[in-house]
């Protein structure tokens, strides 16, 4: 019975890593579709989000079955409950990538992001992809140096997010209302993507140390 239990835990861990890798790919392709007004790629990203949703459902069902049938205690219980919460964060990251692709599709054939601010968003997307890739490594290794790296990367995303709102508040910002909304939403999607990566990092830290960060409640 214990071997079955350990196999279930390993499978849950592998599925979390797969979700993180899928999310990194989703953000990479979603930003590409938005930056280049590529509606075909956008549609592929939107369709691929169903796979991330499927992985979450599969993982959650496995975790709930393990809770019901194996009666885990202590650290094993933390692992299963933490996995349920991490899968929710990863699924949300996939949704945020999908939102970017949906915006690209909505505005096609016009670009959704003005040229004058696109470099800031390119940098935010680049860092978000790094965060998702780091999350996959963290889930695989439980190396808390990677968790600290994710948090630092997210600080940079937050800084860029703030700079976007400062830019659109300047007197010389003359973009149309729809474009301003698109810029605001894009910045918010990219900022929240990083936040969910941090949420996963803090949950892994809890699994390793047993110490809960109240800011992630």
Q: Give the CA count within 13 Å in the CB-facing half-sphere of 16.
A: 34
Q: Which pLDDT belongs to residue 217?
A: 46
Single out the residue of 105, 9, 25, 106 nearest to residue 59, CA to CA: 9
Helix, strand and coil in the chain, % to nearest 5: 85, 0, 15
What residues contact 68, with CB distance under 8 A and at least 6 apart? none
Report the distance separating Cα 8 and Cα 129, nearest Å. Answer: 29
Q: Give the CA count within 13 Å in the CB-facing half-sphere of 150.
A: 29
> What 3-state class would DSSP assign to 167?
helix
Q: What class is the 2-216 domain?
A: mainly alpha
Q: Which pLDDT belongs to residue 209?
A: 83
The pTM of the full predicted model, rounded to 2 decimals, is: 0.91
Q: Beta-carbon neighbour count of residue 25 at 10 Å? A: 18
The encoded tokens of residue 33 equal 């579709």
Q: What CA–CA distances, in Å, run from 58 to 51, 87, 88? A: 10, 10, 12
pLDDT tens track of the chain, all 217 residues? Answer: 567 667 777 888 899 999 999 999 999 999 999 999 999 999 999 999 999 999 999 898 888 877 666 655 656 667 778 888 999 999 999 999 999 999 999 999 999 999 999 999 999 999 999 999 999 999 999 999 999 999 999 999 999 999 999 999 999 999 999 999 999 999 999 999 999 999 999 999 988 887 766 555 4
Single out the residue of 189, 183, 186 nearest to residue 168, CA to CA: 183
């Amino acid at each position: 019975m214990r071997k079955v239990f350990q196999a279930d835990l390993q499978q849950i861990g592998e599925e979390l890593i797969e979700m993180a890798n899928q999310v990194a790919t989703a953000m990479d392709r979603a930003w590409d579709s938005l930056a280049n007004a590529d509606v075909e790629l956008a549609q592929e990203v939107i369709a691929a989000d169903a796979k991330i949703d499927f992985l979450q459902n599969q993982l959650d069902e496995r975790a709930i079955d393990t809770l019901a049938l194996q009666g885990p205690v202590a650290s094993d219980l933390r692992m299963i409950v933490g996995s349920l919460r991490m899968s929710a964060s990863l699924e949300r990251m996939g949704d945020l990538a999908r939102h970017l692709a949906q915006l690209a599709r909505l505005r096609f054939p016009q670009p959704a992001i003005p040229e004058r601010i696109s470099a800031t968003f390119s940098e935010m997307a680049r860092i978000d992809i790094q965060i998702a890739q780091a999350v996959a490594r963290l889930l695989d290794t439980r190396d808390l140096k990677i968790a600290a790296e994710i948090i630092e990367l997210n600080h940079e995303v937050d800084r860029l997010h703030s700079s976007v709102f400062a830019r659109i508040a300047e007197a010389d910002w003359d973009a149309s209302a729809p474009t301003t909304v698109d810029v605001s939403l894009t910045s918010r999607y990219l900022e929240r993507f990083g936040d969910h990566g941090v949420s996963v990092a803090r949950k892994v830290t809890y699994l390793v140390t047993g110490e809960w960060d109240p800011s992630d409640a």
